[in-house]
Amino acid sequence: MRTPLIPFILLVGSLAACTGQSTVKPVEALDEQTGVTVGALKNPIELVMKAQSATLVFGKRPSFAYLGPVEWNRSGVFSYSLWIHVSPGSERQPGDIRAPDALTILLDDGPLVLSPSEAPKLARDPYTPAVSWGQTAYFGLTSDTLKRMAASQKLELDVRAVDGSILSFTPSLDAHAALTQYLQDRGITPD
C-alpha cells in the first residue's frame, strides 16, 4: 500500500527548490556574432531614490536606477563593466549620465567616481532597460573594483541632476549579497 505522504514530500521539495533560486544568480551567455561570452546577473540590482523610498506621492512617477556587473570574456581575455540604467520620475531629472563626474558610487571606504566605457556590440545586451525614456550606459571596472563593491555593506548611487543637484539612490534589496554571489559564481576571489 502506497502512502500519500511520499508524493506530498516530493511536491514540497520540488517547490522549495524552485523558490530557492535567486533572481540575482549570475547567468552566462555566448554572443554567437562576436564570440564574446557575457557573465551578468539574471536581473540588475534595483535602486530607489532615497527621498522616494520613504514616501510615494499619488500621481508622481518615482525615479529608479538599476546597475549590474558584466564580465566580458573575449577568448580568455577578461574585462569588466558596470551597466547602469536611470529611469527618471516626475520630479528632478538626471543630467547626462555619460558626462564626466556624473555618477558616483558611495561605498564603505569612500566614493567611486565612474567613467563611461564602450561595451562590445552584441546581438543582445546583458540587461534590459526598465523604461524606454531612461538613460543607459556602461562604466569601466576592474576585478579589484568589483571586489571593493562586493566587500562594502553600503552601496549608494549619486547621479548629478540637470539643475546640478544630486539624486541619491539606494538598493531596494541587499546589493552586498548579490555582488558577493556574483563574484563567487564568476570565480573572482579575494586576494
61 contact partners, CB below 8 Å, separation of at least 6:
89, 90
For the residues 122-140, what does the mean pLDDT come to? 93
Closest CA to 179 of 66, 24, 20: 24
Residue 85 has pLDDT above 50, yes or no: yes
Cell triple for residue 75?
577568448
Cell 514540497, residue located: 12
- C-alpha closest to that of 150 among 45, 21, 77, 39: 45
Give strand pairing partners of 74: 77
Cβ atoms of residues 113 and 106 within 8 Å? no
Q: Cα–Cα distance between 106 and 152 in angstroms, integer?
A: 9
Query: Is the Cβ–Cβ distance between 94 and 135 less than 8 Å?
Result: yes
Residue 173 has pLDDT above 80, yes or no: yes
| Lowest-confidence pick of 68-72, 120-124, 160-164 | 120-124
pLDDT for 112 beyond 60: yes
Which of 114, 117, 121 has its CA nearest to residue 160? 114
Task: Give ∠ CA 147-153-157 in degrees, rounded to 5.
Answer: 85
pLDDT of 57 reads: 53
78-82 average pLDDT score: 96
What confidence tier does 54 reach under pLDDT thresholds 50, 70, 90?
very low
Is it the case that residue 125 has pLDDT exceeding 70?
A: yes
**pTM of the full structure:** 0.81
Q: How far apart are CA 45 and CA 174, in angstroms?
A: 9
Read off the pLDDT of residues 134-149 as tens digits, 9 standing for 90 and up.
999 999 999 999 999 9
Which stretch of 48-52, 66-70, 102-106 has the lowest confidence by average pLDDT? 48-52
Q: Summarize the confidence of residues 23-46 as an average pLDDT.
A: 86
pLDDT at 32 over 80: yes
The predicted pLDDT at position 89 comes to 84
Q: With pLDDT > 90 as the criterion, what percentage of the chain qualifies?
A: 64
